[in-house]
Amino acid sequence: MPSIVASTRDYDNWLRDQIGPAFVEADLDRKHGKMQKNVFCFLRATYWRWAETILQICPDLARAPEVLSIGDIHLENFGTWRDAESRLIWGVNDFDEAAVMPYPLDLVRLATSALLARGKTGLSPEEICTPLLEGYRKGIDKPCPFVLERNHKWLRKAVMLPEVERAEFWQGFAELQETKPPADYEQVLISSMPKSGGMPLMAARTAGTGSLGRPRFVARLEWKGGPLIREAKAIVLSAWSRHYGATGKRIHMMEIADGHWRAPDPHYRLVDMILVRRISPNSRKIEVGKSTEELLQTKMLEAMGHEIANCQANQDGARMAILADLKRCPQGWLPNAAKAAAQAIERDFRDFR
């Protein structure tokens, strides 16, 4: 296995080749800086490293049934959106790294991210993994999206932004400097806006962690009394599919995002290799930095496990295969796997720093 420095250099070069002239070179320094900030940021920025190492760290997981999975799942890969019926939905909202892989890997990665982000909460691996696995079992048995209009009052209260933060959200986008994007991004953004709204203001945007280096643009439009925002960013092959070529070279993100047991965002769509989505205070990611303890509540961890199941249960036969395999898993398999993965990531983090 190459060192983390060599692995980073190799992936950066691969991503540069995939993106071509639109690759954002300045983002590499930002990404490498985030990789040195703390071990949770390091995990977020290095999914390719997870893909190439996790089955060496946890070889027993390679024998589990393979299903279409999220891949780059972590505490900050959950958020809210409005579905086709304008209902407020909570769940996974980023599928850039979706691929076919052993089903436990999503659980292990989410549990690992919680271990690395727990800070001074004092939570043990078992206290993190027990509700995750319990929620996952419930979700595989009875998958159902998290519709916040009537049920899940505690979750709705946790994710709704207060007025001050809503104002800050819109102000942040109002301050972006206008930039003309490449023609293909401009076309995708314009086509995602209301046809009667006129020409939107467009700007380059720097966001995310693992996706830094990919071009990302937003379009902002004042329409019928209020602002609208769309974002477009480049999509490349999942790092899992890159490493395990035998699983295929397909882009799976829409297949899982629009799965049968989800209430998808109708504005989340892939056009060629550009992902376009709506952004608003109700269509956003929820960040660890502002609410670590809230994200590590037992109820929240159980909901996250359930949502992983909603995403993985899409394939015919997947649920029965997973339930059968879960019965064969030894006691403590998830906390043991998460602890081993966290230790390996901490070593890579120290070596990279």
Strand partners, 231: 218, 277
- The Cβ of residue 4 has, within 10 Å, a number of other Cβ atoms equal to 21
Q: In this structure, what token pair is assigned to residue 320?
A: 């029965």
Q: Is residue 206 part of a domain?
A: no
Q: Is residue 191 part of a domain?
A: no
pLDDT band at 119 (very low <50, low <70, confident <90, very high): confident
Give the tens place of pLDDT for each residue, 155-203.
998 888 888 888 988 988 888 889 999 999 999 999 999 988 788 999 9
- The Cβ of residue 338 has, within 10 Å, a number of other Cβ atoms equal to 26
Q: Is residue 87 part of a domain?
A: yes
Q: Report the chain's mean pLDDT, rounded to a whole number.
A: 93
pLDDT band at 288 (very low <50, low <70, confident <90, very high): low
Average of pLDDT values for 278-297? 81
Average of pLDDT values for 304-329? 93
Domain that holds residue 165: 4-175+239-266+289-352
> 124 or 245: which carries more pLDDT confidence?
124
Q: Is residue 12 part of a domain?
A: yes
Q: In this structure, what token pair is assigned to residue 210?
A: 């693992």
Average of pLDDT values for 70-79? 95
Average of pLDDT values for 3-30? 95
Average of pLDDT values for 289-316? 89
d(CA 279, CA 289): 20
d(CA 287, CA 127): 21
Q: Is residue 153 part of a domain?
A: yes
Q: Is residue 86 part of a domain?
A: yes
Give the tens place of pLDDT for each residue, 228-287.
999 999 999 999 999 987 556 789 999 999 999 999 999 999 999 999 999 998 888 877
d(CA 91, CA 77): 8
Q: Is residue 45 part of a domain?
A: yes
What pLDDT is recorded for position 162? 85
Q: Is residue 218 part of a domain?
A: no
pLDDT > 70? residue 18: yes
Q: What are phi and psi of 9, to 5 degrees?
A: -60, -40
Average of pLDDT values for 304-308? 98
DSSP code string of 70-117? -SS--TTSEEEEE-TT--EEEEE---TT-EEEETHHHHHHHHHHHHHH
What pLDDT is recorded for position 79? 92
Total domain count for the chain?
Answer: 1
Look at phi and psi of residue 294 and say left if phi exceeds 0, alpha if psi is from -120 to 50, else beta: alpha
